[in-house]
Structure 1
Amino acid sequence: MMLPCIQARSLTKKEQLVLSLEKQYPGDVGVLAAFFLNFVKLNPGEALYVSANEPHAYLSGECIECMATSDNVVRAGLTPKYRDVQTLCSMLTYNQAFPEILQGMPVQPYVTRYTPSTDEFEVDRYLLPPGKSVTMSPVPGPSIFIVMTGEGEIQAGFMTDSAKAKEGDVFFVPAHTKVKLYTSSPRSMQLYRAGVNSSFLS
Structure 2
Amino acid sequence: MDRLNNTVRPYAWGSTTAIPELLGTDPTDEPQAELWMGAHPGAPSRLDRGAGPVPLDGVIDGDPGAELGAPTVARFGPRLPFLLKVLAAAAPLSLQVHPDLAQARAGHRGEEERGVPADAPERNYKDANHKPELICALTLFEGLCGFRPAAAAADLLDGLGVDGLKPYADALRAQPEEDALREVFAGVLRADRAELAPTVDAAGRAAERLGTTGSPHAGDYAAYGALARTWPGDPGVIAAFLLNVVRLQPGEALFLGAGVPHAYLDGVGVEIMANSDNVLRCGLTPKHVDVPELLRIVSFTPAAPEVLRAGPDGGYAVPVDDFRLYRHDLDEGHVTVETPAAGAGPQILLCTDGSAELTNAAGEHLALHRGESAFVPAADGTLHATGSGTLFRATTAA
Determine the structure 2 residue equivalent to 1:165. Answer: 368
Matched, 1:42 2:244: no
Instruction: Supply the AA of the counterpart residue of 1:83.
Output: V
Matched, 1:125 2:327: yes
Give the match's secondary structure for 1:58: strand
Determine the structure 2 residue equivalent to 1:4. Answer: none
Determine the structure 2 residue equivalent to 1:191. Answer: 391
Q: Could you tell me how far apart the structure 1 residues matched to 2:351 and 2:321 are?
A: 24
Q: Could you tell me how far apart the structure 1 residues matched to 2:355 and 2:378 are?
A: 24
Tell me by how many angstroms 1:101 deviates. 2.0
Q: Could you tell me how far apart the structure 2 residues matched to 1:118 and 1:64 are?
A: 18
Give the match's secondary structure for 2:227: helix
Would the aligned equivalents of 1:115 and 1:121 in 2 still touch at CA under 8 Å? no
* Aligned residue pair count: 182
Q: Could you tell me how far apart the structure 1 residues matched to 2:240 and 2:311 are?
A: 31
Determine the structure 1 residue equivalent to 2:317. Answer: 115
Q: Could you tell me how far apart the structure 2 residues matched to 1:33 and 1:137 are?
A: 43
Instruction: Supply the AA of the counterpart residue of 2:390.
Output: Q
Q: Could you tell me how far apart the structure 2 residues matched to 1:130 and 1:86 are?
A: 55
Instruction: Supply the AA of the counterpart residue of 1:182.
Output: T
Determine the structure 2 residue equivalent to 1:142. Answer: 346
Question: Aligned in 2, Cα 1:34/1:130: closer, same or farther, shift over 3 Å?
Answer: farther
For residue 220 of structure 2, the aligned residue among 14, 28, 40 is 14
Determine the structure 2 residue equivalent to 1:179. Answer: 383
Instruction: Give the fraction of aligned pairs with identical amino acids, expressed as a percent.
Output: 37
Give the match's secondary structure for 2:228: helix
Would the aligned equivalents of 2:328 and 2:337 in 1 still touch at CA under 8 Å? no
Considering only aligned residues, what root-mean-square deviation do their CA atoms show, in Å?
Answer: 2.4
Matched, 1:24 2:224: no
Q: Could you tell me how far apart the structure 2 residues matched to 1:136 and 1:82 are?
A: 45
Tell me by how many angstroms 1:88 deviates. 2.3
Gaps of 5+ in 1: 1-7
Q: Could you tell me how far apart the structure 1 residues matched to 2:351 and 2:287 are?
A: 30
Determine the structure 2 residue equivalent to 1:104. Answer: 310
Would the aligned equivalents of 2:351 and 2:391 in 1 still touch at CA under 8 Å? yes
Q: Can you list the C-alpha shifts for 1:151-191, whole angstroms capped at 9, x where unaligned?
A: 2322223253x1221222221112262112222xxxx4211
Q: Can you list the C-alpha shifts for 1:81-134, whole angstroms capped at 9, x where unaligned?
A: 443333323211222111222222112xxxx11121222222110111344442
Matched, 1:85 2:316: no
Q: Which structure's residues are more often helix, by fraction?
A: 2
Tell me by how many angstroms 1:53 deviates. 2.2
Q: Could you tell me how far apart the structure 2 residues matched to 1:84 and 1:146 are?
A: 36
Would the aligned equivalents of 1:123 and 1:195 in 2 still touch at CA under 8 Å? yes
Q: Could you tell me how far apart the structure 2 residues matched to 1:120 and 1:29 are?
A: 34
Larger RCO (alpha carbons 8 Å, 6+ apart): 2
Would the aligned equivalents of 2:331 and 2:386 in 1 still touch at CA under 8 Å? no
Q: Could you tell me how far apart the structure 1 residues matched to 2:367 and 2:231 are?
A: 41
Structure 1 segments (4+ residues) deviating >4 Å: none
Instruction: Supply the AA of the counterpart residue of 1:156.
Output: N
For residue 264 of structure 2, the aligned residue among 34, 41, 58 is 58
Would the aligned equivalents of 2:356 and 2:391 in 1 still touch at CA under 8 Å? no
Q: TM-score, length-normalised on structure 2?
A: 0.42
